[in-house]
Amino acid sequence: MPTQLKPNLPYLLDNHQEWLRLVHNNEKILTEDQRNLRGDISGLRFSQEDFSDRDLSYMKMENTHFEGCTFFNSILKGVWALDVYFDECEFVETNLSHAYGKRAEFSGSTLIHSDLSHSVWLDADFGQANFADVLAIGAFFEGATFEETVIKNADFRFAHLNKKTSRNRVYEPF
């Protein structure tokens, strides 16, 4: 059963879509009202929510918890993910490129045909996650852990992986 968080969640997501449209199509500086349309789901908890086919690009999600949520064909490009928890979530054909995450957790999550290219993950935990056919070209993983993570057909060209990342993982090169 989806979590009932805020009665205005659909309204917030619709406003964020309008903000994205304005940012991409407007040649003038946005007004304060237009800037305030940017989505911010900081501090919220989601359980079994479906974020499929949603564009959440550049959304703020500080201290946000996602449990068992689905992100199929979603765009989370450039999200600001501080202290965000993705527990047992599914990311299929999801764009997480240019995202910034600090102390983010992907415990038990699955990422399939997804893009993490040029993203930055500081002190992130990818423990017990499954990566299949994932792009992480030029991604930066500093202090990230991949304990008991299955990585199959992933492309980490030009990625920065510190020494902590190599412990206890199964890796099949691209």
CATH (domain of 144): 2.160.20.80
Q: Nearest to residue 109, comparing CAs of 139, 93, 133, 85?
A: 85
- Check whether 85 has a pLDDT greater than 80: yes
Spatial distance between the Cα atoms of 12 and 37, rounded to a whole number of angstroms: 8
pLDDT tens digit string along 89-104? 999 999 999 999 999 9
Give domain status of residue 4, yes or no. Answer: no
Give domain status of residue 13, yes or no. Answer: yes
Overall average pLDDT of the 17-25 stretch: 81
Most confident of 5-14, 28-37, 53-62, 79-88: 79-88
- Cα dist from 155 to 69, 84, 122, 141, whole Å: 25, 24, 19, 14
Give domain status of residue 2, yes or no. Answer: no
| Residue ranges making up the domain that contains 52 | 9-173
Largest Cα–Cα separation, the chain: 51
Domain count, the chain: 1
User: Would you place residue 30 in the very low, low, confident or very high pLDDT band (cuts 50, 70, 90)?
Assistant: confident
Name the residue type at position 67.
E
